[in-house]
């Protein structure tokens, strides 16, 4: 077990005390809005849908700003139901070329709204936005008709530079920069395990919202659709021998072992017994995801694992986004002690390298990767780790 000296613990506690101020530099008041929103930090001058869970943790420090970020995505939702994957500033730009969503918008906005005690009207707004988005997914990302969600471009899942999402000539973004456009490739339609899990989680959130708003029949419909998605995921995406969920193309399963499996944990797709088997096999194994500084974005024994460790690479680097999301599923699956060991290892890396809150870590050395500083997920994970351990 990683240990710390008394002086190191004091240093970490002092660091935690400074993090709210560091996080403040990632707040911005957009033009024509009166409240600040939370940016992704580092080199990202905007709000990304895949970063929405950042708001759940940042709400402890900046509740109004966390909620305003949810409102921002709802305000720019298209009439067809598509939610922008990013709203950028300097210059201002609302983008719809990919999905890039992990913890469903409905779930995240619901949890933020509960945490900051929003009025009922805001829960109704989340429900409306979530229903429209789910309809868009069903109508535009299910050409295979299996109730699952398809990937049309590499950036759909946020796994930049990962072989999982580029193999087969998959473009980074969709044609016409609109997420409904499927490329004409032999591997399409390509069913994505993590995007399907996100839709599943979103439907469970919509069911909870419907119950809160007094619509039990709608709640039952949402749960029924969620169950249909879960059954389809086990039927078409699960490999019982590998005990892993993969993407599926018309040619069959695409067997890349990447951190996308954690997104199924995040959205509650995997039952406890199966989770325990997957976790023991892959996340307690140093030849898979349990590197000295876990969790790498691809299993180290996967032939596709990238060993050059370039910046912004989900082909091997340990991502702080993955670590922040682990706070949302490891305790729920009874892995609190394991989470704390991960925290210790990451804190050790931060001390050893005086890390300026970069986006990524080297999975074997713990060295920071990239030049971006004050990345929001890094600030939030390190703060949570220090508060929990000391």
Where does the pLDDT of residue 294 fall: very low under 50, low under 70, confident under 90, or very high at 90 and above? Answer: very high
184-210 burial by CB neighbour count: b if 16+ within 10 A, else e? eeebbbbbbbbbbbbbbbbbbbbbbbb
Q: In residues, how long is the chain?
A: 390
**Average pLDDT in the chain:** 97
The pLDDT of residue 96 is: 98
At which residue do the structure tokens 């409102």 appear?
Answer: 71
**pLDDT of 20 strictly over 90:** yes
Full DSSP string of 46-68 = EEEGGGHHHHHHHTTT-HHHHHH
In the predicted model, what is the mean pLDDT of residues 316-324? 98
pTM of the model: 0.97
Instruction: Work out the average pLDDT over 355-382.
Output: 97
% of the chain exceeding 70 in pLDDT: 100
pLDDT given at position 348: 98
Topology of the domain comprising 6-389: Glycosyltransferase (1.50.10)
Looking at residue 32, its pLDDT comes to 82
At residue 1 the predicted structure's pLDDT band, cuts being 50, 70 and 90, is: confident
Are 191 and 150 in contact, with CB atoms under 8 Å apart? Answer: yes
Burial 296-322 (b: 16+ CB within 10 A, else e): bbbbbebebbbeebebebbbbbbbbbb
Tens of pLDDT, residue by residue over 102-127, are 999 999 999 999 999 999 999 999 99
Amino acid 84: pLDDT: 98
Supply the pLDDT for residue 81.
Answer: 98
pLDDT 10s digits, 47-89: 999 999 999 999 999 999 999 999 999 999 999 999 999 999 9
How far apart CA 114 and CA 118 sit, in angstroms, is 6
- DSSP of 178-242: -TT-----TT-SEE-HHHHHHHHHHHHHHHHHHHHTT-HHHHHHHHHHHHHHHHHHHHHTEETTT
Which pLDDT score is estimated for 113?
Answer: 98
Please give the angle made by the CA atoms of 179, 199 and 232, to the nearest 5 degrees. 110
* CA–CA gap between residue 113 and residue 55 (Å, rounded): 10
Average pLDDT over residues 218-223: 98
CA gap 228, 220 in Å, rounded: 12
pLDDT reading at 43 higher than 90: no
């Amino acid at each position: 077990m990683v240990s710390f000296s008394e002086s190191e613990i004091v240093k970490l506690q002092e660091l935690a005390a400074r993090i709210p101020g560091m996080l403040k530099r990632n707040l911005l008041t957009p033009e024509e809005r009166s409240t600040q929103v939370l940016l992704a930090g580092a080199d990202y001058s905007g709000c990304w849908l895949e970063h929405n869970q950042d708001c759940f943790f940042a709400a402890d420090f900046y509740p109004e700003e966390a909620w305003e970020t949810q409102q921002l995505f709802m305000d720019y939702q298209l009439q067809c139901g598509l939610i922008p994957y990013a709203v950028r500033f300097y210059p201002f730009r609302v983008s719809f070329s990919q999905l890039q969503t992990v913890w469903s918008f409905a779930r995240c906005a619901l949890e933020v709204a509960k945490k900051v005690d929003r009025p009922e009207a805001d829960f109704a707004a989340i429900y409306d936005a979530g229903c429209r988005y789910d309809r868009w997914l069903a109508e535009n990302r299910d050409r295979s008709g299996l109730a699952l969600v398809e990937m049309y471009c590499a950036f759909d899942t946020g796994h930049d530079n990962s072989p999982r999402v580029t193999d087969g000539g998959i473009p980074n973004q969709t044609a016409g920069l609109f997420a409904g456009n499927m490329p004409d490739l032999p591997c399409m339609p390509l069913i994505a395990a993590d995007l399907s899990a996100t839709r599943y989680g979103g439907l469970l959130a919509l069911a909870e919202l419907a119950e809160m708003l007094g619509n039990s029949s709608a709640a039952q419909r949402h749960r029924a659709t969620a169950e249909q998605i879960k059954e389809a995921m086990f039927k078409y995406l699960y490999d019982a021998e590998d005990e892993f969920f993969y993407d599926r193309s018309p040619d069959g399963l695409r067997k890349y072992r990447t951190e996308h499996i954690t997104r199924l944990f995040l959205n509650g797709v995997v039952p406890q017994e199966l989770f325990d088997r997957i976790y023991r096999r892959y996340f307690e194994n140093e030849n898979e995801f349990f590197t000295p500084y876990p969790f790498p974005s691809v299993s180290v024994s996967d032939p596709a694992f990238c060993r050059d460790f370039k910046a912004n690479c989900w082909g091997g680097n340990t991502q702080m986004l993955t670590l922040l999301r682990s706070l949302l599923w490891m305790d729920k699956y009874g892995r609190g002690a394991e989470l704390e060991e991960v925290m210790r290892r990451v804190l050790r890396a931060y001390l050893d390298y005086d890390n300026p809150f970069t986006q990524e870590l080297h999975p074997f050395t713990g060295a920071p990767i990239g030049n971006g500083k004050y990345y929001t997920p890094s600030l939030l994970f390190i703060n949570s780790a220090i508060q929990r351990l000391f």
